Every structure is written in C-alpha cells, then in structure tokens.
A and B are shown apart, each in its own frame.
Chain A
Amino acid sequence: MLNERKRKWFDAVVWSVSALFALGLTVDAAHAESHRYAVDNAAYRAECGSCHVAYPPALLGAEAWRAIMQGLNQHFGTDASVSDEKRAEITAYLAGASGGKRSAATTLRITESQWFRKEHAEIAATTWKLPAVKSAANCEACHRQANSGDFSERNIRVPR
C-alpha cells in the first residue's frame, strides 16, 4: 500500500518535471522561430526601413541584393538613393546575411519569388487590395511583428 502511494508520487513528479522541460523547449523554439528574421544593421534599418519594412536579408540571394543596391536611384519606381558610404555598408551586410533556399533566384522582387507565392497562396486576391494592405510589400499589414523579424504564424492577423 505504501509502495503504491510512493510510486504514484514518483510518477507525478516525473511527469511534472518532463512537462515543464517540454514547455521550456517549446517556448525556446518559439522564441527562436519568432526572431529568425531579425535585422541587426542600423544603417539598413534607417536607410531602407523608412519606406518599407527592412526586409529580412535571407529573403534574397547576395547577387540580387547587390543588384538592388546598385540601382537605388530607380528603386521600384522611386528614388531611394543613399550615400556611397552607406551603400557600401548596407550592401556588405545584406550580401553577408543573404539567403539560401528561400531566396528569389530570378527576380529582385521578394514578392514575386516562388517561395513567397507558395507561402501566400491561401490569401485571397481581394485581401491584397484592402486599403489596410495596399501592397504585398506591406508585410506588417498581416505580420504584425514583422519589424522585429517575427513572421511566425501566431503573430499573423489578416485584415478583413
């Protein structure tokens, strides 16, 4: 009888500890996931992040970033020129942190990459046209924490 009770206690303790451990791991993984695309270059944030979210460097390849940084005076229809000094710094940062499998191979527009289209296939055409969205470049319309590099599912709120 005593043994039985002891074993129950033992079981309870083992289960609680495992549960806490598992929870810890999950939280940790979620934390890593939520900041996977963090941008940690002040010049890039300041120079590029005023007009659009400072897109995670991993979303394009090094060559694409270099091409974009070469043509800033005609940047998707606007003049986004920066000083030569800043351009060199930002180019080096973007190329160094550029991406692999998720990067767009054939286009300079992240939103035209196969990866982007696949990830956003479930979004209705009407949603893209909502005033709150306006453009596929407006990550923050749905990815509310995009600016801190958090594109995780749990921080998505699609406007209606």
Chain B
Amino acid sequence: MNLQFTAAMSTTLLLVVASASEAQVPTDYLKSLETAARVAESGFAGFSAQRGRAWFNARHGTDWSCSTCHTEDPRAVGRHVTTGRSIAAMAPAANPERLTDAAKMEKWFKRNCGDVLGRACTPVEKGDVIAYLTSLKR
C-alpha cells in the first residue's frame, strides 16, 4: 500500500470517527418530550439520568425490564430474550448510531414499552432513559 493512500484512508477514518462521536439526539425530539413532560407533570424539573438508570433496570409489572434484553450495561451487546438474536449496544458511547433518528426511537418505544410496561411510556420516562443512555461514557 503506498503512503499517500494510507494517509488518505487514515484521514477518512478520522473524519468518520469524528462525525460519529458528534452524533446527537435530535433536538426537536428532545424539545417535544420536554414540552410534553411539563404538561404531564406540573413540578417537572428536567430529565434525570439517575431516574432513567433505575427505570431501565427495574421491572414494571411484567417479566421483563429493559435490561432483560439490553443487559444492565447498555454499552454491551444485548440479546433478545425469546429469539436469542443479538442486539447492538444501546448507549451512543458504544454505538454512535443509537438515538439519532426520532422516528426509529418512537417505533421502538412503542414496541418495547408495550412489552415491558404493558402500556405506552410517558414523556418523562422516555426523556429519563435517553438522559441515562447519553450520560454513559466509554
């Protein structure tokens, strides 16, 4: 491999890594959750990573918690509890694609809140768990 090519490849790789680590939760989506949270809870004082963590690991009236499939460390690869299929890490620190697409997040909240809570998640629950996942560092 010639030197120029190697240099070009390294630069591309660096750019990819840099842009990946800048991936963010869409601001519009977070704002809409905040607005909805304020309406739902009069004393709402912002999302909490700490609450999100406890909620992620707790069971909510069914056999499953979020951590049943995603493990108690969202930076780790999970495993679907019934089918055994591997699930990519949830924390953006480990998987920069996560939490970057609002429609995808809503789709999975709909599916998984139904399975784990037997109801839809509230805006506070969603915001808290996003705060928890984004607070994790590598």
A50 in contact with B87 (CB, 8 Å)? yes
Partner of B110, one of A50, A52, A81: A81
Q: Within 8 Å of chain B (Cβ to Cβ): is A108? A: no
B83 in contact with A81 (CB, 8 Å)? no
Interface residues of A in 52-83 (CB under 8 A from B): 52-53, 73, 76-83
Which single residue of chain B is at the shortest CB-CB distance from A46? B104
Please give the number of chain B residues whose Cβ is less than 8 angstroms from any Cβ of chain A in the complex.
Answer: 12
Q: Within 8 Å of chain A (Cβ to Cβ): is B82? A: yes
Please give the number of chain A residues whose Cβ is less than 8 angstroms from any Cβ of chain B in the complex.
Answer: 21
- Give min CB distance, A82 to chain B, whole Å: 7
Q: Within 8 Å of chain A (Cβ to Cβ): is B43? A: no
- Give min CB distance, B14 to chain A, whole Å: 29
A79 in contact with B84 (CB, 8 Å)? no
**A50: which B residues are within 8 A, CB to CB?**
85, 87
10 A-B pairs whose Cβ atoms sit less than 8 Å apart in the complex: A50-B87, A52-B80, A52-B85, A78-B82, A79-B111, A81-B107, A81-B111, A133-B84, A134-B82, A135-B83
